């Protein structure tokens, strides 16, 4: 199985690149942010809970997020592989994902990290907020909070995969197609 973690701060381009990667490699795309937003739209209990964190730019608690992710993985028993987008975002989530995949006799193949500096992220998120209507992309205070949470809670996930020799940093600034080609070079490298 090819199991990719697409990593990077909010606004790094994970969603855009995931869409291109699933087309090329026929993987199942699991974006925890997208799943939360679908639950919010559907008015589920999970959606109501998630919204209370997302609206503040905070992370949804690990036990909720890990449980939801495990359910999604279990729904796709015949997948050729997965792209995890926006997950794991904490060390506890990374460890839980390793355990879950190991129970299935598989593992994360690599982490591909889109690297974009903070000023560029803020610009991109405000533009996305106007285009998509996502409330958490429209308020500079919430955007700053998400970036701070990323630096404090999510950056250790990089160290987790570096320790396993699976971390690959990719320049996330430039043409979408060029960034995609860099990702593919890493994936296709024997």
Instruction: Give every strand in the sheet of 2-7, ordered side by side.
Output: 28-31, 81-85, 2-7, 110-115, 167-171
Yes or no: say if 137 and 143 are a contact pair by the CB < 8 Å rule.
yes
- Binding map of ligand AMP across residues 98-137, x = CB under 6 A, - = no contact: --------------------------------------x-
Active site residue 37: no
Active site residue 128: yes
> Does residue 86 touch ligand AMP according to CB under 6 A?
yes
Transcribe 88-157 into DSSP letters.
Answer: --SHHHHHHHHHHHHHTT----EEEEEE--HHHHHHHHHHHHHHH--GGGT-HHHHHHHHHHIIIIIHHH
Strand partners, 81: 2
Catalytic pick from 14, 51, 75, 104? 14
Active site residue 41: no
Cβ proximity to ligand AMP, 55 vs 185, nearer residue: 55
- Binding map of ligand AMP across residues 8-37, x = CB under 6 A, - = no contact: --x---------------------xx--x-
Cβ proximity to ligand AMP, 45 vs 105, nearer residue: 45
- Tell me which residues are annotated as active site: 14, 89, 128, 134, 146
């Amino acid at each position: 199985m090819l199991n990719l973690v697409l990593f990077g701060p909010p606004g790094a381009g994970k969603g855009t690149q995931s869409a291109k990667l699933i087309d090329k490699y026929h993987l199942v795309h699991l974006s925890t942010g997208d799943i939360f937003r679908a639950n919010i739209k559907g008015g589920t209990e999970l959606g109501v809970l998630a919204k209370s964190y997302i609206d503040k730019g905070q992370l949804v608690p690990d036990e909720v997020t890990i449980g939801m992710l495990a359910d999604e993985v279990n729904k796709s028993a015949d997948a050729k592989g997965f792209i995890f987008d926006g997950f794991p975002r904490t060390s506890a989530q990374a460890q839980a994902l390793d355990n879950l995949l190991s129970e299935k006799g598989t593992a994360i193949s690599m982490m591909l990290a889109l690297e974009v500096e903070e000023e560029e992220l803020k610009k991109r998120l405000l533009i996305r907020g106007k285009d998509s209507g996502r409330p958490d992309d429209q308020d500079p205070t919430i955007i700053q909070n998400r970036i701070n949470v990323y630096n404090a809670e999510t950056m250790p996930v990089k160290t987790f995969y570096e320790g396993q020799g699976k971390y690959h940093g990719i320049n996330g600034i430039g043409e979408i197609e060029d960034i995609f080609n860099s990702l593919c070079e890493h994936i296709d490298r024997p």
